[in-house]
């Protein structure tokens, strides 16, 4: 007989026994058993690596590096590497180990990685830089808000951020009183190392002057403060002077722009009307000149016709007066030819 256990884990570890019995006529004739101890080891998981800074005495710091695997049957051997160099190792009956490494602030000291080994498998953590930058200014604080149905400010989000710092510690103050993690009208949300956020519900309790302070989490003997910011419901719902100035400036600009457009349009129409008047005058002058030319032509034609008529009348009158003389000369010529 074969017994198979699939997907074994450390929970399947223990003592296993096999019993064989021979039955005949409902009577046990022979019974045999055997026992074996089986240990199932969980494979170690990929370890996580992190470190905190310890201040031992003035200007002397060290990094406490933590390596931890969430799974794996102990004992586990943890090894710490800086680049390719082995720094130290330890074998313990737990899935977490700590190492202490000398540290110099504001100086890059290499990259660290953990190795976890419980005999069946070896796993490596990610690389992390061994560098700690002290907190430095300036510290900037700003906010944004949520608007309710009546367009009144109902909620605020204040943000605090230092210019630099690897392990900053943020603290919020209202009227120079320290605000803890949570209160009746506020809630602190730390987002290290980037920034810290203070959530506020706008009301009478939240009115006052806010500021934040940032220090190194491993040395809070000195801190850098932001400038104060006074906030209350009336101030938040009042239109800022800059907004009023911008709106008023835009309105004046539009009025001036419309006035300029109207003036330009009036000048353009005046020029168009002047052009049309000049063109009409030129057309009238041309028509008048054409009428003058045609009348002069007609007068000249009448003069020519009159002259021609007078000449014809004159010629007619001359020919009638001389007709007897011509007749006489004709008869004289005929007589001469006969004689």
Domain-by-domain residue ranges, the chain? Answer: 48-129, 136-236
- At residue 234, the 3 state secondary structure works out as helix
pLDDT-derived band at 139, boundaries 50, 70, 90:
very high
Q: Is the pLDDT of residue 339 over 60?
A: no
Residue range 235-291, pLDDT digits in tens? 666 645 455 567 678 888 888 888 888 888 788 777 777 666 666 666 665 555 555
Q: Is the pLDDT of residue 314 over 60?
A: no
Task: Report the C-alpha gap between 265 and 267 in whole angstroms.
Answer: 5
| Between 265 and 130, the higher pLDDT residue | 130
> Which one, of 62, 135, 139, lies nearest residue 102 by Cα?
62
Secondary structure E strands in the chain: 14-24, 27-38, 48-57, 60-68, 76-82, 85-92, 96-103, 111-117, 122-124, 128-129, 136-147, 153-164, 168-174, 177-179, 186-191, 195-201, 208-216, 219-225, 229-231
pLDDT-derived band at 333, boundaries 50, 70, 90:
low
Q: What is the pLDDT of residue 211?
A: 96
Task: Report the C-alpha gap between 49 and 111 in whole angstroms.
Answer: 11
- Give domain 48-129's CATH number out of 2.60.120.620, 3.20.20.70, 1.10.569.10, 2.60.40.10: 2.60.40.10
Characterise 294 by phi-psi region: left (phi > 0), alpha (psi -120 to 50), beta (else): alpha
CB hemisphere CA count around 287 (13 angstroms): 6
% of the chain beyond a pLDDT of 70: 70
Segment 99-126 mean pLDDT: 93
pTM of the model: 0.58
Going by C-beta distance under 8 Å and a sequence separation of 6 or more, which residues neighbour residue 158?
141, 142, 143, 172, 197, 198, 200, 210, 212, 229
> Which one, of 34, 42, 43, 41, lies nearest residue 15 by Cα?
34
Segment 184-198 mean pLDDT: 89
Q: Is the pLDDT of residue 305 over 60?
A: no
Task: Report the C-alpha gap between 65 and 128 in whole angstroms.
Answer: 11
CATH superfamily of this structure's domain 136-236: Immunoglobulins (2.60.40.10)
Q: What is the pLDDT of residue 155?
A: 85
pLDDT-derived band at 172, boundaries 50, 70, 90:
very high
Q: What is the pLDDT of residue 152?
A: 77
Q: Do domains 48-129 and 136-236 have the same CATH topology?
A: yes
pLDDT-derived band at 312, boundaries 50, 70, 90:
very low
Dihedral pair phi/psi, residue 105, rounded to 5°: -65, 150
Q: Got the DSSP string for 287-330?
A: HHHHHHHHHHHHHHHHHHHHHHHHHHHHHHHHHHHTHHHHHHHH
* C-beta separation of 50 from 125 below 8 A: no
The tokens for 162 are 């230092």
Q: What is the pLDDT of residue 279?
A: 62
Task: Report the C-alpha gap between 146 and 22 in whole angstroms.
Answer: 82
């Amino acid at each position: 007989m074969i017994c198979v256990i699939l997907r074994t884990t450390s929970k399947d570890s223990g003592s296993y026994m096999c019993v064989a019995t021979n039955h005949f006529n409902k009577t046990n004739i022979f019974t045999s058993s055997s026992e074996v101890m089986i240990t199932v080891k969980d494979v170690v998981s990929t370890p996580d690596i992190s470190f905190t800074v310890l201040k031992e005495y003035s200007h002397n710091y060290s990094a406490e590096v933590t390596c931890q695997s969430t799974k794996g049957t102990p004992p586990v051997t943890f090894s710490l590497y800086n680049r390719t160099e082995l720094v130290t190792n330890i074998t313990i009956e737990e899935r977490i180990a700590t190492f202490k490494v000398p540290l110099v602030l504001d100086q890059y000291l290499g990259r660290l990685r953990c190795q976890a080994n419980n005999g069946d498998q070896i796993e490596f953590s990610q690389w992390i830089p061994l560098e700690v930058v002290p907190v430095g200014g300036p510290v900037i604080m700003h906010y944004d808000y949520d608007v309710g149905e009546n367009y009144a400010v109902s909620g605020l989000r204040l943000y605090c951020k230092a210019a630099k710092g690897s392990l900053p510690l943020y603290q919020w103050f209202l009227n120079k009183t320290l605000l803890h993690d949570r209160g009746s009208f506020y809630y602190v949300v730390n987002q290290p190392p980037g920034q810290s956020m203070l959530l506020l519900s706008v009301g009478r309790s939240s009115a006052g002057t806010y500021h934040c302070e940032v220090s190194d989490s491993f040395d809070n003997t000195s801190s850098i403060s932001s400038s104060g910011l006074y906030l209350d419901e009336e101030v938040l719902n009042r239109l800022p002077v800059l907004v009023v100035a911008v709106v008023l400036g835009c309105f004046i600009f539009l009025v001036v722009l419309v006035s300029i457009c109207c003036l330009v349009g009036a000048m353009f129409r005046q020029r168009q009307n002047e052009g049309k008047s000049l063109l009409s005058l030129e057309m009238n002058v041309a028509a008048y000149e054409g009428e003058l030319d045609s009348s002069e032509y007609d007068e000249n034609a009448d003069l020519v016709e009159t002259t021609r008529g007078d000449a014809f009348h004159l010629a007619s009158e001359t020919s009638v007066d001389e007709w007897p003389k011509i007749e006489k000369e004709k008869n004289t010529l005929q007589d001469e030819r006969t004689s």
